[in-house]
Copies of this chain bind each other. A is one copy, B any other.
Amino acid sequence: MTPAITHKLPDHAVPVPLDKAYRLINHGPTVLVSAAHGGVTDVMAAAWACVLDFTPPKVTVVIDKATFTRGLLEASGQFALQLPTRAMARLTTGVGTDSARDVPDKLARHGVSLFSPPACQVPLVQGCVGWLVCQLIPEPHNQQAYDLFIGEVTAAWADERVFRQGRWCFDDAPDDLRTLHHVAGGYYLVSGEGVQA
B58 touches A47 (CB 8 A): no
Listed A/B pairs (18) with beta-carbon separation below 8 Å: A26-B181, A26-B182, A26-B184, A27-B28, A27-B47, A27-B182, A27-B183, A53-B147, A90-B197, A92-B197, A167-B184, A168-B189, A187-B194, A187-B195, A189-B193, A190-B193, A190-B194, A191-B192
Q: Is the interface of A mostly helix, strand, loop or mixed?
A: strand
A52 contacts chain B at the CB level, 8 A cutoff: yes
B184 touches A194 (CB 8 A): no
Q: In the assembled complex, how far is the CB of residue A142 from the closest CB belonging to chain B, in whole angstroms?
A: 7
Copies of this subunit? 2
CA distance A62 to B60 in the complex (A): 11
Chain B residue nearest to A181 in the complex (CB)? B27
Known: A50-B60, A168-B183. 12 other contacts (CB 8 A): A26-B184, A27-B182, A27-B189, A28-B28, A47-B51, A167-B184, A170-B189, A178-B192, A181-B191, A189-B192, A190-B192, A190-B194
B-side contacts of A92, CB under 8 Å: 197
A188 contacts chain B at the CB level, 8 A cutoff: yes
B183 touches A58 (CB 8 A): no
A37 contacts chain B at the CB level, 8 A cutoff: no
* Chain A residues at the B interface, C-beta cutoff of 8 Å: 23, 26-30, 47-53, 58, 60, 62, 86, 89-90, 92-93, 141-142, 146-148, 150, 166-168, 170, 178, 180-184, 186-197
The 6 closest A-B pairs by CB, nearest first: A28-B28, A192-B192, A89-B197, A50-B50, A27-B181, A190-B192
Interface centre among A49, A147, A168 (most CB of B within 10 A): A168
